[in-house]
A and B are shown apart, each in its own frame.
Chain A
Amino acid sequence: MKFVDEFRDQGVAARLARSIARESAGRDWKIMEVCGGHTHTIYKYGIEDVLPSNVELVHGPGCPVCVIPMGRVDDGIAVAKTEGVIFTCFGDMMRVPGSDGSLLDAKAQGADVRMVYSPLDALKIARQNPDREVVFFAIGFETTAPSTALTLMRAADEDVKNFSVFCNHVTIVPPMKAILDSPDLRLDGFLGPGHVSTVVGIRPFEFVSARYDKPVVVVGFEPLDILQGVYMIVKQIKEGRCEVENQYTRIVRDDGNPKGLEVMQQVFALRPHFEWRGLGFISQSALRIRDEYAAFDAELRFEVPGVRVADPKACQCGEVLKGVLKPYECKVFGTACTPETPIGTCMVSSEGACAAYYNYGRFSRAASRIEALEKLEVL
C-alpha cells in the first residue's frame, strides 16, 4: 500500500537499528514515548525486538482514554442514561469502566449510546433526530480539540439546539511537566507527540530541553518514524546537543496549525484544574467550553454528579502512565485486569500501555522462540 509500506520497510529498519546500536553502545538508555499512538505502534510491530537491548522505551501519559478519571466516566454515563438522550463517543471510550459499569453496560441497560468516528458525525445525528438531545463525549489532547471546536462553531452557526458536548479535552504540556518533576523517574529523552504537534507545533516542548535538559524529538506513528526518533535522540546526546527536533516533517510544521489553534482559542478556555487518572489534579491542564458557547455545554445542560471517584485500590494506572512501572509490574496486570475486564484505563484503549503490552507483547522473547520463527522462512 503506497505511503504506508515505505514507512514499515524491514531493510531500512535493520539499517537504522544497526546505527542505533552503534551510537548507543556503552551505556543504558531510557527514552519515553509520550503518546499512546506510539506505544501502540511499538507493540504492534514488535519494535522492542528490533532495538538493541540497552535502549529501553518507557511508555508515557499520552493516551487520551487512559487519562480520563472514573468520576468523569460516571458523569458521562449519567448523561447517557438521561431520558431522551442519544450519547455519542469514540469506540474506545465505550469500554472504560466507571464506578458502576461502562457506557457499554449502560447501552445494554437501555441507554442510547452510539459510536462515532468524528464529532461532526454526532452533529449529523443531532440534525437527523431533532426531537432528541444528542451529546458528544469529547476526549483527547490538542489533536482532537480543534475538530470539537469546529463542530461547536458549526452547531452555533446552524443553531442546532439539541446538540451539546461533554468536554474532557486536555493539554499535553502539564502532564509532561508533572512527569519531569517526578523524583522517581530517570529519562534520557522524549519521543514527542506527533499528532498533538501537528496542531501546537514543536515550540511548546522547548521547556523540556531548556529547563529540564532533556532532548525531545517529535516523531510520527509508523515504525520507522519511531526508530529514526530514537536514533536522533541518541545522536543529540552523543554530540552534546539538547534541543527539540522534528522528525515528523512530512506532517508537523514548527509552528503547528495556526488555524487549529485559533478555533481552539475561540471555543475553549483553560480550566483552573482538572483531574487526571492516576496523576491527580493538575492545574491548567484541561479545556472547558467558553461562555459564548455555554448553550452547547453538556455539563451545564444536564445534571451530572460531578463526584470525584477514587481509583480502585489495586489499580496502578498512575504509575504506569508516569512510566514508573512497566505494565506487567502492576499488581493486577493480566490477572484481575485484562482487556475484556479492565480495572484501569490503561487496559482499555488500544493506545493504553497495558492493553498494548497484553495484546501484543505478552510472550517470552526467549531466543528459542525467535529461532522457531526463523524456521518459518523455509515455507
Chain B
Amino acid sequence: MAEAKYVGKWNEQEVLDRIEHVRRQAPRIRDEAINMSHGAGGKATHTLIEALFQPAFGNSMGDQAIFDVNGSTLAVTTDTYVVSPLFFPGGNIGELAINGTVNDLAVGGAEPLYITCGFVLEEGLEVALLRQVVEAMAAAAEAAGVKLVAGDTKVVPRGKGDKIFINTTGIGLIREPDRLGIGKVVTGDAILVTGPIGDHGTAIMLARGDLDIETDLESDTAAVHTLCAAMMSAGDVHFMRDATRGGVGTVLNEIAREANLGIAIREDAVPVRDEVRGAAEILGIDPLYVANEGRVVAVVAGGEIGAVLDACRAHSLGERASVIGEVLAEPPGMVFMHTAFGGSRVVDMLIGDPLPRIC
C-alpha cells in the first residue's frame, strides 16, 4: 500500500505534493464579482480576506484582535448578522447577534464586557418586529452579563436591504494573556467539540420551508462564555474557536492550516442529532460543514483532556461534548477522517455555499 503506483506521467504522490505546493501559495481572487460563496465562511471567504482585505489593511485579521491598554489586555471583535428568516426555531437575529459576538470574545479567552450595535433597517419594516428583535437583544445581553453601550441606525429604501441587518462590536477583558493561541497547538493535543453539530444551519434551512420536513429541531444559539471559562479552569486548553459558518469541518481546517499540523478525527465520535443527519442525508450535505451558533471546537493538551471533557459535560451547554480526534505532526495543514465504515478520507474546507444567509 505504501508503494506508489506509476501510471502515465505522474505518480499519485507527486500529484499530491504538487497540489499541496499550489495550496500553500498566497491565494488569488479569480472571480470578477462577489458571489454568495464569498460570505459562506469557507474557502472563498478565506481567499477574499487573504488576497484583498489583509494586503490593503496591512494586518492579519482574525475573529478577535488582542491589544494592551494601560496594563490590561483587551479583545475586540466585530460581526454582522443577515440571517433569513429573522425568527427561527430556537432564536432570532437579535439573540444571534449578541450570542455570536459574546462567543467570538469567549473563544479567545476574553470575558465579554461591552457590545455596540449598528442597525440597517429597510423602509417599511414593522416597528413591532423591530421591537421584538431589540428586546431579544436586551435579554440576551443581560443573560450574558454584557452591556449594550453605543449604537447607530440607518434606513435604506425598500428593496435595497432585507428588513434588518445588524452589525456589532464586542469588547472583552483577557485576564490570562497568552493562555490561548494557535501557536500553543502541538502534536498529541486532543480535539473536543462541545455538543451535537449542525443544529443551527439545519434549523434555519428547515425554517425557510423549502423542504416540507417537520421536526422539533432548534438552533443551538447560545452564549458560551461560561462554558469556555469552565473548560479553561479545568485544564490546559490550547485553542478554541466557535464553529459558525463553514461548520466544524472548516474550523478544523483553519486550525490545521494555521498550526501547520495534521488533524485526524473519527466519524463515529462526532456527535450529530438524527434530525440533522436525516436532513443532511436528504440534501446531500455534510453536517461537518453546517453552521453552529453555540458549539466550540477546543484543542486541549492530550494529558488533560479527561478533566476538560468532564468540566464541559458538567455545563448545561456541553452535556453532549465529545473528543473527536487529535493533532498529528503529519500531514501538515490537512484534516482527515476515519470513517465509521472503516475507510478514511480528507475533510477539506467548505467550498461554495450550500446554505446562504445562515447568520
Contacts and interface: CB of A to CB of B under 8 A. Distances in A.
Interface of A: 1, 4, 8, 10, 13-14, 43-50, 53, 91, 95, 101, 104-105, 107-109, 117, 121, 223, 325-326, 328-329, 333-335, 339-341, 350, 358-370, 372-373, 375-376, 379
Nearest to A224: B341
Given A1-B274, A334-B15, A329 B9 contact: yes
B343 A367 contact: no
B341 A373 contact: no
Nearest to B334: A363
28 contacts: A1-B274, A8-B340, A45-B339, A45-B343, A46-B342, A46-B344, A48-B343, A49-B342, A49-B344, A91-B354, A95-B352, A101-B32, A104-B35, A108-B34, A117-B210, A117-B211, A223-B343, A325-B8, A333-B15, A335-B18, A335-B22, A361-B346, A363-B334, A367-B2, A373-B344, A379-B266, A379-B269, A379-B325
B54 interface: no
A13 B346 contact: no
Given A105-B35, A329-B10, A363-B346, A50 B341 contact: yes
Interface residues of B, number: 59
Contacts of A366: 1-2
Most buried by A among B326, B338, B345: B345
Contacts of B44: 340
Interface in B16-33: 16, 18-19, 22, 30-33
B328 interface: yes
B278 interface: yes
Interface of B: 1-2, 7-10, 12-13, 15-16, 18-19, 22, 30-37, 43-44, 47, 190, 210-211, 262, 264, 266, 269, 274, 277-278, 281, 283-284, 305, 323, 325-326, 328, 330-331, 334, 336, 338-346, 348, 351-352, 354
Contact of B7 (A50, A326, A368): A326
B42 to A, nearest CB: 9
A339 B338 contact: no
A328 B12 contact: yes
B33 A376 contact: no
A6 B200 CA distance: 27
A340 B30 CA distance: 10
A49 B35 contact: no
A369 B346 CA distance: 12
Chain B interface, >50% SS class: mixed
Contacts of B264: 372-373, 376
A47 B343 contact: yes
A54 B10 CA distance: 20
Contacts of B33: 105, 108-109
B312 to A, nearest CB: 15
B23 to A, nearest CB: 9
B340 A4 contact: no
A4 to B, nearest CB: 7
A340 B351 contact: yes
A361 B345 contact: yes
Contact of B348 (A10, A44, A359, A379): A359
Contact of B22 (A1, A46, A108, A334): A334
Given A1-B274, A376-B338, 19 more contacts: A13-B341, A43-B345, A45-B345, A46-B343, A48-B343, A105-B33, A107-B35, A117-B283, A328-B10, A329-B7, A340-B47, A359-B346, A369-B331, A370-B344, A372-B328, A373-B338, A376-B325, A379-B305, A379-B323
Contacts of B341: 8, 10, 13, 45-47, 50, 223
Contacts of B266: 373, 376, 379
Contacts of A48: 343
Contacts of B305: 379
Given A14-B342, A50-B341, A50-B342, A369 B330 contact: yes
B2 A10 contact: no
A47 B340 CA distance: 11
A30 B211 CA distance: 40
B284 A350 contact: yes
A366 B336 CA distance: 13
A75 to B, nearest CB: 21
A322 to B, nearest CB: 14
A78 B37 CA distance: 22
A154 B352 CA distance: 33
A44 B331 contact: no
A121 B8 CA distance: 46
B330 A372 contact: yes
Contacts of A46: 339, 341-345
Contacts of B351: 339-340, 359
A72 B210 CA distance: 28
Nearest to B322: A379
B13 A44 contact: no
Question: 8 tightest CB-CB pairs across the interface, nearest first?
Answer: A46-B343, A334-B19, A360-B345, A49-B343, A108-B33, A45-B341, A328-B15, A108-B35
